[in-house]
Structure 1
């Protein structure tokens, strides 16, 4: 039976060894790798995209190094990845979207000043701000309160002005009150007269 040696190695732990240089891209050929810990060293350069080929990887810790550049989007393809720590490096840009990377919180990415994304609650250049600032919400509520307060005040003043502008003189000034009463009496008499005339016409029309 033929064995692929790259499938035999399951775990690599070289943490706290003062290692220097870049993370070797050849790690991406160790397809049987389940755990990779290179934390607490002096590694620099970028995270090789080939690590995304490690479909069996469940644990990845590259924290506390000097790794720079962007997080490769290929990491989001590792479905089994359960533990990820890229904190305290010099990573930058947006945290890639998709699958596994969305399941990790900000602690996996903190300590990278130029890194941005939803997990860090930090918007990237060109994005809409994540969440609504408390001050903005308060300002919005204040604006609504001012608007409705002004509206109700205007309605109240309009009703008051209209009511007293029309009925005030009639109720308070005797000559106007008498004239208004006479107008109502004449209007009532006219309406009754028109009703009687129309009823008489209808009666004659039915008899004819």
Structure 2
């Protein structure tokens, strides 16, 4: 099939009974408010968006060979397996969204090489371990990692020194100490309530003389309050009138 240039685009013929019709092989990519027009899309791929397509299986590691890929969105699918290590080799990648899948394992350490990322979302998967150290990965909000079992900045869970997993032992982290303090607080509240009840309230029920003295004391206090407020009322009446 012959082709011929038309302006800056290549046109391809479609033969029919009505003659020959021509179509242009080109594409327009709009990303982050910028519109890029390509006269051919066969040799250069800079954006892939396959979000919300019920895709299954693992992410192909061949995606890491697209060295000029700037935007990759596979969110909202049913993808499983681990994130391919070589995706971190796409150094020009600016937007990566793998959220709302069923990915597991750790975030590849090579992701610390993605220095041009300005949109990053791995939320709502089953990822574990420590978030790789890198200026870009720590600059994103915690919402980019929510719904996983990750630790290290910017999430609030601390990681242990050897395993990269959150330390939930009672003696191995400040979190365990905090839980211990909270437990002792509850215990002290319960003990205080019990001691107060049996030391003050219970005798009023079981010792008749204490109960009578208590009621008499309340009556005396009530009389004094009545006299006090009555005096205040008389004084105010005299001052006003």
Compute the TM-score of the two structures, normalised by the length of structure 1.
Answer: 0.58
Contact 1:7 1:33 in 2 (8 A): no
Q: Which has the higher strand share?
A: 2
5+ unaligned residues in a row in structure 2: which ranges? 1-40, 162-166, 168-172, 182-241
How far residue 110 of structure 1 moved from its aligned partner, in angstroms, is: 0.4
Residue 98 of structure 1 deviates from its aligned partner by 1.8
Distance change in 2, residues 1:7/1:81 (3 Å) = farther
Residue pair 1:6, 1:32 contacting (<8 A) in 2 also = no
Is 1:40 the counterpart of 2:40 in the alignment?
Answer: no
Query: Could you tell me how far 1:6 is from its partner in structure 2?
Result: 8.6
Question: Aligned equivalents of 1:97 and 1:45: distance in 2?
Answer: 23
Structure-2 residue corresponding to 1:31: 67
Q: Which residue of 1 is the match for residue 159 of structure 2?
A: 124
Q: Which residue of 2 aligns with 1:54?
A: 90
**Structure 2 CA distance, aligned partners of 1:74 and 1:9?**
21
Shift in alpha-carbon separation, 1:81–1:122, aligned structure 2, 3 A: same
Give, in whole Å, the separation in 2 of the partners of 1:20 and 1:39. Answer: 12
Q: How many angstroms apart in 2 are the aligned matches of 1:9 and 1:74? A: 21
1:125 Cα deviation from its structure 2 partner: 3.6
Q: Residues of 2 paired with 1:109 and 1:9: CA distance?
A: 27
List per-residue Cα deviations over 1:60-96 (Å, max 9, x = no partner). 0000000000000111101101110000000001111
RMSD: 2.5
Measured in 1, the distance between the counterparts of 2:153 and 2:92 equals 26
Report the number of matched residues: 131
Change (3 A) 1:129 1:49: farther
Query: Whole-Å Cα distance in 2 between the matches of residues 102 and 129 of structure 1?
Result: 22
Give the CA deviation at 1:129. Answer: 4.1
TM-score of the two chains, using structure 2 as the length reference: 0.50
Bigger Cα Rg: 1
Summarize the Cα distance change of 1:117–1:7 in structure 2 as closer, same or farther, 3 Å threshold.
farther
Q: Matches of residues 111-190 of structure 1 in structure 2 within 5 Å?
A: 111-112=147-148, 114-126=149-161, 128-129=173-174
Deviation at 1:99, TM superposition (A): 2.2
Residue of structure 2 equivalent to 1:90: 126
| Bigger helix share | 1
Give the whole-Å Cα distance in 2 for the aligned partners of 1:115 and 1:77.
19
Greater RCO, 1 or 2 (C-alpha within 8 Å, sep 6+): 1
Name the counterpart of 2:136: 100
